């Protein structure tokens, strides 16, 4: 079964000025995100969210605040007939030097263990070089959504991280995955 990893902030929902969505009231869907996710769900594919939420480690939010955002997010998706396979959250700051915070692939490795995945056959849609670095570390097919100030992720950056494909929107990224996988 095909598995698609999605970053949250900047892919599923819009980023906000202070950098952290800490309540449902601050959450706004990215244009095309629900429609794109629905296309994945209709094919019966695994849809796994992997998100860094340093706001918890910085004590700007509690883990229950993040869980509440995800509960509302899933309720809105369920109202459209969509379900997510799982959501993985890294609550740590970069200084914590944990294994789960992207660019490290800890959340991807945990998902592979939990869902018996072969990561080299999975896709990762993200909007930052850290997303692409995590994808590259485990040989996922990285798709960079260039809709933020994250910059270019085509190998011409300081980190020498290469996305397999670059898109303007999450919906376009999902259409690319569907094209790669072919008809159901």
| Predicted model pTM | 0.93
Asked whether residue 157 carries a pLDDT value surpassing 70, the answer given is no
Determine whether 7 is an active site residue: yes
Q: pLDDT value at position 71?
A: 99
Three-state SS sequence of the chain: CCEEEECCECCCECCCCCCCCCCHHHCCECCCHHHHHHHHHHCCCEEEEEEECHHHHCCCCCHHHHHHHHHHHHHHHHHCCCCCCEEEEECCCHHHCCCCCCCCCHHHHHHHHHHCCCHHHCEEEECCHHHHHHHHHCCCEEEEECCCCCCCCECCCCCCCECCEEECCHHHHHHHHHHHHCCC
Distance between CA 98 and CA 43 in Å, rounded?
A: 34
State yes or no: pLDDT of 184 exceeds 70: no
Domains, the chain, ordered by start: 3-181 (3.40.50.1000)
Given a cut of 80, whether residue 27 has pLDDT beyond it is yes
What pLDDT is attached to residue 132? 97
User: Is 114 considered catalytic here?
Assistant: no
- Interval 71-84 mean pLDDT: 98
Tell me: pLDDT of 155 over 50: no
Can you give the pLDDT at residue 153?
47
- pLDDT for position 148: 53
Q: What is the tens place of the pLDDT at every residue in 42-58?
A: 999 999 999 999 999 99
Mean pLDDT (the chain, rounded): 92
pLDDT tens digits for range 89-148? 999 999 999 999 999 999 999 999 999 999 999 999 999 999 999 999 999 999 999 975
What whole-number distance in Å separates Cα of residue 61 and Cα of residue 49?
A: 19
């Amino acid at each position: 079964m095909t598995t698609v990893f999605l970053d949250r902030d900047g892919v599923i929902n819009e980023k906000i000025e202070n950098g952290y969505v800490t309540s449902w009231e601050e959450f706004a869907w990215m244009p095309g995100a629900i429609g794109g996710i629905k296309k994945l769900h209709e094919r019966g594919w695994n849809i796994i969210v992997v998100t860094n939420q340093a706001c918890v480690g910085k004590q700007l939010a509690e883990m229950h605040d993040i869980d509440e955002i995800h509960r509302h997010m899933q309720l809105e998706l369920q109202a459209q007939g969509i379900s997510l396979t799982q959501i993985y959250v890294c609550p740590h700051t970069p200084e914590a030097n944990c294994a789960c915070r992207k660019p490290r692939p800890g959340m991807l490795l945990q998902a592979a263990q939990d869902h018996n995945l072969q990561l080299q056959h999975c896709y990762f849609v993200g909007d930052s070089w850290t997303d692409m670095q995590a994808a590259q570390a485990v040989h996922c097919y990285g798709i960079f959504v260039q809709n933020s100030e994250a910059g270019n992720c085509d190998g011409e950056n300081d980190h020498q991280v290469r996305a397999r494909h670059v898109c303007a929107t999450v919906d376009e990224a999902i259409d690319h995955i569907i094209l790669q996988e072919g008809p159901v």
